[in-house]
Amino acid sequence: MSVLVTGAAGFVGFHVTRALLARGERVLGVDRLDDPALSAARLARLEKLEGFGFSRADLSVPGALEKAAAESEIERVVHLAGRAGLRGADGPSLVRDNVLAQAQVLAFCRERGVTHLMHASSSAVYGGPGAAPAPVSAYGATKRRAEILARAAVEAGGPPTTSLRYFTLYGPWSRPDTAAWLFTEAILAGRPVRLHGHGRMRRSFTFAADAAAATLTALDHPPPDAHGIRYAVADVRHPVTAGLEDFVTALEMLLGRRALRERVPAVRGEFVTDAPEEGGQGWPRPVPSHDAPTGIQDGLARFVAWYLDSGRAIAGGLTSPAAD
Ligand SMILES: NC(=O)c1ccc[n+]([C@@H]2O[C@H](COP(=O)([O-])OP(=O)(O)OC[C@H]3O[C@@H](n4cnc5c(N)ncnc54)[C@H](O)[C@@H]3O)[C@@H](O)[C@H]2O)c1
């Protein structure tokens, strides 16, 4: 019996797959391999590990997942493939990869009778500030739509399902469009660091390995029956927010260079503070990762070490030993 991890060659998928393999699970990874350099490097790393199999597929294509998993007995599914981030992707590609692909995964899970499906949602579903959280970005809207489809599939007799709302993740093996990567690159190049929300933003910066641990905890606890429905939403985030300025200061210390700060308005759809510390109305409780979640000092130290050792070389298309 295997766990199917979609998006296994992505940032989150890599960490979740590695954590599953480390505890002896068998994993079938499926991914379209969008980033030629980083996906290939993450995949090469996973393929050295016991219990991992891989199939390349585009989940938005009808029948592609069924074909990719035809030879495997799948017990549980962690669906992490998708278009990540508030910036960049256009509407049609967001819908294809976050909504159409979701529908294909839901159909697959129902067909195969899996015991628990989890899929990656995002803090972007909370959108802007206000009493009733609702997405204001196209990205957040597709993530919310994926949640609604997931719940509807449970209502229609699908397997127990959990929507995991990941907050701002960072760490080794991250995407080049994430804050830690962009800030590190800018500081090293002497370019200004763009601080959205005029630098007043606070974020639940969440170390990717902690998010992976929380994902496994959630996987092991399918939602209980609530009025005949087994569906749950959970936040995956560091319990305490940190300021964007603190994030940059930590990077300055680690890199031994001053950052040039450029304070710009917030991107629409991003909170100035992305999570109330104690939770709040309409906010699910976070899934615990472990007793002492990684703080930005330790987490960024591990990111910077990886970035300098291999991350920037991989992204630049150079081969590298790819350390942790
Ligand atoms: N990284 C974060 O901070 C964060 C925060 C909130 C939510 N999320 C969500 O978590 C999930 C993973 O994010 P990530 O940071 O690992 O992104 P990523 O881009 O590193 O990984 C996503 C992977 O999905 C694959 N993919 C995309 N569309 C596909 C398709 N149609 N078929 C097959 N594979 C496809 C890509 O090739 C890529 O390897 C996404 O759904 C994202 O929206 C991430």
State how far Cα 121 lies from the chain centre: 8
- d(CA 49, CA 71) in angstroms, rounded, equals 20
- Look up 139 and say whether it is catalytic: yes
Ligand 1 centre and the CA of 79: distance in Å?
9
* Residue 87: CB atoms within 10 Å: 10
Ligand 1: does its nearest atom lie under 6 Å from the Cβ of 97?
Answer: yes
Domain 2-166+207-236 in CATH: superfamily? NAD(P)-binding Rossmann-like Domain (3.40.50.720)
Q: Where are the domains of the chain?
A: 2-166+207-236
Residue that the structure tokens 């959630």 belong to: 218
State how far Cα 146 lies from the chain centre: 14
Q: What is the pLDDT of residue 198?
A: 81
pLDDT tens for each residue of 164-189: 999 999 999 999 999 999 999 999 99
Q: What is the pLDDT of residue 102?
A: 98
Residue 149's SS3 state is helix
pLDDT band at 114 (very low <50, low <70, confident <90, very high): very high
The DSSP code for 112 is: H
Residues 234 and 160 sit within 8 Å (Cβ to Cβ) = no
DSSP string covering 188-217 = HHTPEEEEGGGGT-EE--EEHHHHHHHHHH
Q: Which of ligand 1's atoms lies nearest the C-alpha of 96?
A: 31
Q: What is the pTM of this model?
A: 0.95
pLDDT tens for each residue of 254-309: 999 999 999 988 776 566 677 766 666 666 777 877 678 999 999 999 999 999 99
End-to-end alpha carbon distance in the chain: 28
pLDDT tens for each residue of 29-47: 999 999 989 999 999 999 9
